[in-house]
Structure 1
């Protein structure tokens, strides 16, 4: 499981925020093959971002898939809202 929250979007009605979060999550899941694929790609991306060590080719591929999917998901999430300089979507995996 995971949660998506829209952060730092000024003065946004609750229903519009929830719709944007759902669009973002739906796009991620579609691009990454559901919740399991999403979790694996997110973990690989996080590891790649934080690691000073070399990562495996498989993890590198997953991290790149996450990056592409997250960009597309953000475009979908912001589609009805318009982007701002400060707003972003935060994904948190539940342990």
Structure 2
């Protein structure tokens, strides 16, 4: 008999480091995984993704008035991502893939 798999359809997790902008005006981050939004917190967290690396990750900041700092990328062979928004609540953010050596 096979060992039961963890819940969901994946065993792969990536690390996502969400850096808080200098002026947030109450903004919170939202992470999208293949178009499905998930509330998040500033700091480092892990997210479940598909094993084949085709998962599309997006991050944006929002407050009660507007969205800003949107950035996105494909997981591929990355082990994690670092997100940085612009210093002001305007413009696009930056999502940088990180790979471990080896």
Q: TM-score, normalised by structure 1?
A: 0.30
Q: Give 1 or 2: higher strand fraction.
A: 2
TM-score, structure 2 as length reference: 0.29
Structure showing the higher helix proportion among its residues: 1
**Bigger Cα Rg:** 2
* Greater relative CO, 1 or 2 (CA 8 Å, sep 6+): 1
